[in-house]
Amino acid sequence: MTMATRRRHIHHKLARSVFWGTTLLAAVISVVFWVGELKRSSDKTAVMLNQLLDTVESTAAIAAYSGNRQIGEDVLKGLLRNDIVHSAQISNGQGLELAVVRSTEVPRQDAVVRLLHSPFADGEVVGRLKVVPEARFTLQEARHSALVGALNSVILIAITALMVVGLVRALLTQPLVRVSARLHDIKAGDANRLEALARHRDDELGQLVEDINGLLETLEEKFTAEHQLRQEVQGMERQLRGIFETTSAGIFQLDGGGVLLTANPSLGRVLRWPAGIPGQDLENPLDNWLLKRSADGFFALKETV
Amino acid sequence: MNWKPLPPVLLLLSSAAAADVAVIANVRNPLDGLTGKQVQDIFLGRTRSFPNDRFALPIDQSSPLRSEFYQRLTGRSLEQINAYWARILFTGQASPPLRVPDDAAVLRTIRENEGAIGYIDKSQADGSVRVLLILP
């Protein structure tokens, strides 16, 4: 007794493969996205910081030049209102030392330092403005971008995978199932053939159906030829059997050891065997004969002949 | 070619624009002279004292010479100087130099205040004040 195996569909296998493949791909893409976005976001933050410093540079220079604390504090407070700034510091080397810092625990990042030049004398450095970027902002940016990128990838891949699975099911699995069911109904040598699949006459499935029909055609021809051959053989056998059994000549067959294998009834009559010996039993002469003959009888018969 | 005489007003402006500006201080001020940067720091509020640590009182004036003075001293226009002072004035921590009407008022103020420093047309400078710098 054989257990029925659970049949699995191609599109289900494909769906599983696509699922794991896309999951792995999405994970790899997410990591690559995150690393790339972290770098890009860090560069972007540096650019934004420099733009921010461009905006406040002239005012900060006035604060540094004049040693004006109020202007300096205003500049630093304004800088700290931006999410990308973690801390800011302004100094002029002549007693003005101002700093503001955000109360977040973040890993240290490279500070952006801008030298402040005198508003009135070209080239004279009157102070320094130092800004540390907010790492949390960079991380958030990178994480957000990576998440969005990964989600986009997953959605696109999932939609594509579903479309592929659906198309494979519609264009391959279902036609194959129909072909298989129809093939099961056809017996060997039968004259029935597979019907051509609509919409698949010109593709590989249409070719497969044609090939199967060709195979069925060949099979039917072989069966027919074999049937005819068998009938001819049977006719010849009957004819030869008739000759063997009705000829007046005694015919017999010995094996290599001299054992009599078979003999026709005429041999019995020629040798005057008693009634009931094999050869007269026309229904199964060979079996009866072989069962009843002994080796001694054979050699006696041989000498007699 | 016929040359036409220039209008008198234009001649006057041209003359004023070409005049040298003298930075002057009280005659009792012991300094022999100042650099342009030192004068700049005093007039723009960066420092409130002379290099010898004596209190410095800058005296500005409202005449057209003011524009010439700052242009030669800092290379900046009067609008830029005013904008600079506007920002500082807003904080309430400093104020621009005391401003008087003209060279005569500057001379009078300088003579009366030992720590005063101002600027006038070079041609107006006399022995009652000490010339610390000439801005050509």
- Average pLDDT of span A12-38: 81
Q: Which residues of B touch A71 (CB under 8 A)?
A: 87-88, 91
- CA–CA separation, B96 vs B99, rounded Å? 8
- CA–CA separation, B132 vs A137, rounded Å? 55
Chain B window 15-54: which residues touch A at a Cβ cutoff of 8 Å? 37, 40, 44-46
Identify the pLDDT of residue B56: 93
Q: Which residues of B touch A65 (CB under 8 A)?
A: 44, 46
The string of pLDDT tens digits covering residues A194-231 is 888 778 878 888 888 889 889 889 988 999 999 999 99
Token look-up 């009280």 returns B26
Lowest mean pLDDT of A45-49, A79-83, A218-222, name the range: A45-49
pTM (predicted TM-score): 0.57
- Average pLDDT of span A3-16: 71
pLDDT tier at A8, thresholds 50, 70, 90? confident
Whether A121 has its CB under 8 Å from any CB of chain B: the answer is yes
- CA–CA separation, A124 vs A139, rounded Å? 37
Assess whether pLDDT exceeds 70 at residue A299.
no
Q: Report CB contact under 8 Å: A62, B88.
A: yes
ipTM of the predicted assembly exceeds 0.90: no
Identify the pLDDT of residue B14: 41
Identify the pLDDT of residue A297: 55
Q: Report CB contact under 8 Å: B94, A68.
A: yes
Query: What is the 3 state secondary structure string of chain B?
Result: CCCCCCCHHHHHHHHHHHCCEEEEEECCCCCCCCCHHHHHHHHCCCCCECCCCCECEEEEECCCHHHHHHHHHHCCCHHHHHHHHHHHHHHCCCCCCEEECCHHHHHHHHHHCCCEEEEEEHHHCCCCEEEEEEEC
Q: Which residues of B touch A59 (CB under 8 A)?
A: 87
**Ranges under pLDDT 70 in chain B:** 1-18
